[in-house]
Amino acid sequence: MKAHLVTLLSFLVAAQAFYLPGVAPTSYTKGQTIPLYVNRITPSMRHTDAKSKTYVYSYDYYFPRFHFCAPEGGPQKQSESLGSIMFGDRIFNSPFEIKMLENKTCSKLCQPIYSTADAVFVNRNIRAGFKHNWLVDGLPVAKAIIDTKTETQFYGAGFEIGAVDNSNVAHLYNHYELVIEYHERGADEFRVVGVTVNPYSINHADPSNMKCDTEKSTPIVLDQGKDTKVTFSYAVFFVPSDTVWATRWDKYLHVYDPKIQWFSLINFSIIVLFLSLIMSHILVKTLKSDIQKYNEVNLDDEMMDEMGWKLVHGDVFRAPENKMLLSVLVGSGVQILLMSITTAGFALFGLLSPSNRGSLSTVMFILYAVYGCFGSYVSAALYKLFQGEDWKLNMILTPTMIPGSLFALFIFFNFFLIAVKSSGAVPIGTMFAIVLIWFVISLPLSAAGSLLGYKRPSVTLPVKVNQIPRQIPTQPWYLKTPVLALIAGIFPFGSIAIEMYFIYNSLWFNRIYYMFGFLFFCFSLMLVTTLLVSTLLIYYTLCNENYKWQWKSFFIGGGIAAYIFVHALFLSKFKLGGLTSVVLYLGYSFVISVGVGLMCGAVGFLGVFFFVLNIYGQIKID
């Protein structure tokens, strides 16, 4: 019970604190202890040879088979925000003793013995590129890297647990040289402004008289044929720095070559904007002349033949098939859309800084729960417009169908994580908190949204629906829904394709994501292209006397989902290690693509809906 309370409390704290720019600075006095916390051991995408695999799940730092040194009295878990736990952070204390301004050249940690089975396990994970993620004063312990192009130094968060040498032998890093950069603020007031590590593999010949000589030493290799005893050690050096506390994250947020990205994006967006301008120009012009023609013409049989979209005026607002499902899906899409827009907005204004661990995911989760009211509102209003009768079912399905499926998948993936003893498995307490939030926040808000949506007067339709449905002429193959969806999906996908790489890296490999301005730009571009493409394609469909635009517009908007999924497959390079990695990777890629698909589907549908309302509102029907 205590754990639940801590989870809930820390979640509340995180939810309240998200508008603060980062965390408050800590000043240390000389000799004051600076705690070092260890987070989970995360996978990375490194292929040392043709046989090495990528894993997409992480382990606890104190997972017994790693034998990393624990503090006296056993490791203690640190409290974290809900989002942080959901996305896999598992933070513990550590045995490192670091005191401000006190250098240590060679301190012993512990001397575990690796059995042959554990040696196999650790060697496999060294080859797969698993990484340590330590935290000192809220900063990730990093490796200093030189960008060869710009010749600038930057920090890559985390460091490998070992290395593979030229003759393909795996070495375990057992000596950590920590370099802590401090900034002197005043008399006996120091702040930590950078933490880097140089990891070494040293075979300490005489553990009772260790030298920690990083230059003249042989590396340690875990023997897969017999037990190996390893001595862990560390060193700490304090170096002064001019960096001030406020800018200490700058070195971590390094973009390899910002010019290339912006260049390709601007290139692409100019093309998209240009095409969109031409497209909308043609569309508006055609529509204007259409409307003029329709409103002038005396009903004359010859003209009737070429009248295009006006012909279907008596059917264009006919309720679609499966109106329940469509309204629920559009409602769920709106919920995701609003969550994404708000999160991107928060991020854009720097409110979700990387120093607030888990703030991004917590905010997304809370927003998703709260925006259930808007989703249900849209769903109910649409269902009413479609003259649906079973509004109670609609009220129940909207907040349960998509979130419920998500939660079921989440639990399903959790079983796989438990099976491989990954730290990513979400504890029962957190599961409980998620369900509780959903019941307490999401359900009542959704019910209120549903009622409001159902009570509000429906949109007045500009044209009446005929009694007898019109026959739809045979459609050419390229106007069939799957073809249109595939054609349409390319454009919005193009606008976010570059971003997907970074998002996947931060999702699977714990990279820090920070290019929020860039993301916001791509995101907007994606929505605009979705709107334009859906409208244009539905215009052609209507001109071909096919009035069933509702599902079509949803699928045309959602066509991007197929591309996102296939792109994710290629990003994995088909080198996933083990069933769990495959299931998790495919599963989460599926969830993401469906989520984006629902969102863009809703955008497509609503955009086209207003387009149709507008054009049919401008013609005279006798």
Ligand X SMILES: *[C@@H]1O[C@H](CO)[C@@H](O)[C@H](O)[C@H]1NC(C)=O
CB of 193 to ligand X, least distance (A): 15
Strands 175-186 and 233-240 come out as parallel
CB-wise, 235 or 363, nearer to ligand X?
235
Beta strands in 45-168 (DSSP E): 104-108, 113-114, 131-132, 134-136, 139-140, 142-147, 152-157, 159-160, 162-164
Touching ligand X, residues 265-304 (CB under 6 A)? none
CB-wise, 101 or 210, nearer to ligand X?
101
- Report the 10 Å Cβ neighbour count for 401: 17
Q: Quick one: how far is CA 75 from the chain centroid?
A: 30
Binding of residue 239 to ligand X (CB under 6 A) = yes
Under DSSP, is residue 230 helix (H, G, I), strand (E, B) or coil?
A: coil
Question: How many residues belong to the chain?
Answer: 622
CB-wise, 52 or 102, nearer to ligand X?
102
Stretch that binds ligand X, among 62-70, 107-115, 233-241, 350-358 (CB under 6 A): 233-241
Stretch that binds ligand X, among 20-28, 237-245, 247-255, 404-412 (CB under 6 A): 237-245
Stretch that binds ligand X, among 57-65, 114-122, 231-239, 294-302 (CB under 6 A): 231-239
Binding of residue 198 to ligand X (CB under 6 A) = no
Binding of residue 238 to ligand X (CB under 6 A) = yes
User: 31 is written with which tokens?
Assistant: 């000799």
CB-wise, 238 or 551, nearer to ligand X?
238
CB-wise, 101 or 297, nearer to ligand X?
101
* Among 15, 32, 237, 401, contact with ligand X (rule: CB under 6 A): 237
Residue 383 DSSP class = H
Identify the CA nearest to 484 among candidates 553, 547, 438, 435: 553
Under DSSP, is residue 229 helix (H, G, I), strand (E, B) or coil?
A: strand
Touching ligand X, residues 74-133 (CB under 6 A)? 101, 103
CB of 62 to ligand X, least distance (A): 30
CB of 240 to ligand X, least distance (A): 8
Residue 205 DSSP class = S
The interface mask with ligand X, positions 20-49, x = CB under 6 A, is: ------------------------------
CB of 105 to ligand X, least distance (A): 9
CB-wise, 239 or 472, nearer to ligand X?
239
Q: How far apart are CA 513 and CA 535, in angstroms?
A: 33
Dihedral sign (CA 214, 215, 216, 217): positive
CB-wise, 237 or 520, nearer to ligand X?
237
Number of residues counted as binding ligand X (CB under 6 A): 5
Strands 152-157 and 142-147 come out as antiparallel
CB of 194 to ligand X, least distance (A): 14
CB-wise, 11 or 155, nearer to ligand X?
155
CB-wise, 105 or 247, nearer to ligand X?
105
- Report the 10 Å Cβ neighbour count for 468: 7
Residue 438 DSSP class = I
Per-residue HEC secondary structure of 28-68 comes to: ECCCCECCEEECCEECCCCCCCCCCCECCCCECCCCHHHCC
Comparing every residue's Cβ against ligand X, the nearest one is 103
Stretch that binds ligand X, among 236-244, 402-410, 431-439, 481-489 (CB under 6 A): 236-244
- Residues lying near ligand X in the complex (CB under 6 A) are found at 101, 103, 237-239
